[in-house]
């Protein structure tokens, strides 16, 4: 890039990346970045300077790069550490998504038994029952908002039962989750966010007290047992892990089910092909994960050691954010990348990440989506979008690609 071109670059801010306007134009913007500016400057408020990664090969490399850390304590000295913006921040950030080896390995080991292939397959009948029950409620109306009536309740019911938390609290989780996944350090929102996170911490404290008194065969009880053994899990790690499992246990799947249905509604030929050939469902799910990746941008990684990328020095303490959505539309990896093709071969998408932080719940999300979409198409064969596709609105959200609603008639 010439010096003249460098001067013309507009630095993106966190609020811009989180805006609905950005989501609407993101794919075209990413396409231009991949061509000419694969390392794009960001201004991230209190987090400092950052870089947006848009190419697939760079994403694969950096998702495994040991010079990048998820825990900022492994990068900053005691004097350099930023003060917590929220009073309750420390109680909710000590989870495996924000950790590096060996801590990451220790935390992941504590929960991965619940997400083995055998354990996930045991949930199949339960997920099918939930899907049918949700459709039973809306089918007489011949209409539903897929997000509120189906895509959100299905995974939140599943993860709630796995964790052993009351289903009646699921709407609270929806509010708290939105604060966590779309955190902003804008002064006008800090007070409200801190209040909501305070509610979440109080809820977790009460829940853990109850589980200590009355342990059961659920995942939270198992985590409490690990905490009581001393070195396995601290109290902050316990709260943080429960929070992560609640949020990550449903947010990605809500978006996968919604975004896949939306893609099918917008591509009638592919929708009809899937109806006629249901054995293409697994392939269709992988294509949906690539085409409208549920997680658009990764959580932040901190640079522990400087390095050079595309002729630019990435300095210590710089933030790296990877666009999974852009990497999954990279023309050099995916022929006809902007075409939704449920028979796509060699689909090497990274919608669930890559490396140490590959999504622990990927298999569960795939199973939930397979049952949810298969049941929807079987029971509502004449389903169609109610309204024009141009009227559908993406949420303004930093991490996720999520529709505000998806009205369907059948």
At 266-281, the pLDDT tens digits run: 999 999 999 999 999 9
Strand stretches in 276-349, DSSP E: 301-303, 307-309, 312-314, 319-322
The string of DSSP codes covering 57-115 is HHHHHHHT-TTEESSGGGTS-TTTPPPPSSTTHHHHS-SGGG--TTHHHHHHHHHHGGG
Of the listed ranges 87-101, 173-187, 386-400, the least confidently predicted one is 173-187
Cα–Cα distance for residue pair 131/384, rounded to 1 Å: 19
Which stretch of DSSP H or E encloses residue 408?
strand 407-409
Q: HSE-up of 249 (CA within 13 Å, CB side)?
A: 26
> Can you tell me the mean pLDDT for 290-302?
96
- The answer to whether the beta carbons of residues 98 and 236 sit under 8 Å apart is no
**Number of structural domains in the chain:** 1
Residues above pLDDT 90, as percent of the chain: 70
> Can you tell me the mean pLDDT for 284-309?
97
- Asked if residue 5 has pLDDT above 60, the reply is no
Which stretch of DSSP H or E encloses residue 144?
strand 143-145
Best CA proximity match to 246, nearest among 168, 184, 165:
165
Of the listed ranges 132-146, 168-182, 355-369, 391-405, the least confidently predicted one is 168-182
Residue pLDDT, tens place only, 51-99 = 999 999 999 999 999 999 999 899 998 888 765 556 666 777 889 999 9
CATH no. for residue 97?
Answer: 1.10.630.10
- The answer to whether the beta carbons of residues 394 and 18 sit under 8 Å apart is no
> Can you tell me the mean pLDDT for 111-135?
94
- The pLDDT score that the predictor gives to residue 10 is 84
Name the token pair of 351: 């919608």
Which stretch of DSSP H or E encloses residue 42?
strand 39-43
- Asked if residue 9 has pLDDT above 70, the reply is no
Of the listed ranges 186-190, 253-257, 313-317, 355-359, the least confidently predicted one is 186-190
Q: What is the pTM of this model?
A: 0.93
Which stretch of DSSP H or E encloses residue 56?
helix 56-63
Tell me which residue range forms the domain holding 265: 3-409
Cα–Cα distance for residue pair 124/41, rounded to 1 Å: 44
Sequence-distant contacts of 188-191: CB under 8 A, at least 24 apart = 190/85, 190/86
3-state helix, strand, coil in the chain (%, to 5): 60, 10, 30
Angle in degrees, 0-180, between the axes of helices 219-228 and 187-213, rounded to the nearest 10: 80
């Amino acid at each position: 890039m010439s010096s003249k071109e460098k001067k013309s670059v507009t630095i993106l801010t966190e609020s811009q990346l989180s805006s609905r306007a950005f989501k609407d134009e993101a794919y075209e913007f990413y396409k231009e970045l991949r061509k000419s500016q694969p390392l794009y400057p960001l201004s991230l408020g209190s987090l400092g300077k950052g870089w947006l990664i848009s190419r697939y090969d760079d994403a694969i490399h950096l998702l495994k790069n040991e010079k990048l850390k998820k825990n900022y304590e492994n990068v900053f000295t005691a004097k350099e550490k930023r003060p917590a913006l929220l009073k309750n921040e420390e109680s909710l950030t000590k989870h495996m998504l924000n950790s590096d080896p060996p801590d990451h390995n220790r935390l992941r080991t504590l929960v991965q038994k619940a997400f083995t292939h055998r354990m996930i397959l045991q949930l199949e009948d339960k997920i099918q029952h939930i899907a049918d029950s949700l459709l039973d409620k809306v089918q007489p109306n011949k209409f539903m908002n897929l997000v509120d009536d189906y895509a959100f309740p299905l995974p939140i019911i599943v993860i709630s039962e796995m964790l052993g938390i009351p289903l009646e609290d699921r709407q609270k989780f929806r509010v708290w989750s939105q604060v966590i996944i779309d955190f902003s350090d804008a002064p006008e929102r800090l007070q409200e966010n801190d209040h909501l996170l305070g509610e979440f911490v109080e809820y977790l404290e009460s829940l853990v007290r109850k589980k200590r008194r009355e342990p059961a065969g659920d995942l939270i009880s198992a985590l409490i047992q690990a905490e009581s053994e001393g070195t396995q899990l601290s109290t902050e790690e316990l709260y943080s892990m429960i929070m992560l499992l609640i949020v990550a246990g449903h947010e990605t799947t809500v978006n996968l089910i919604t975004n896949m249905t939306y893609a099918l509604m917008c591509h009638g030929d592919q929708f009809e092909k899937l109806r006629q050939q249901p054995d293409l469902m697994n392939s269709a799910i992988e294509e949906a994960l690539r085409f409208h990746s549920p997680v658009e941008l990764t959580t932040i990684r901190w640079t522990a050691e400087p390095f050079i990328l595309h002729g630019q020095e990435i300095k210590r303490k710089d933030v790296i954010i990877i666009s999974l959505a852009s990497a999954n539309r990279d023309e050099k990896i995916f022929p006809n990348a902007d075409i939704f093709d449920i028979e796509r071969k060699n689909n090497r998408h990274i919608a669930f990440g890559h490396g140490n932080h590959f999504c622990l719940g990927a298999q569960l999300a795939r199973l939930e989506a397979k049952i949810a979409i298969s049941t929807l198409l079987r029971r509502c064969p004449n389903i169609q979008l109610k309204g024009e596709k141009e009227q559908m609105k993406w949420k303004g959200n930093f991490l996720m690609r999520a529709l505000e609603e998806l009205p369907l008639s059948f």
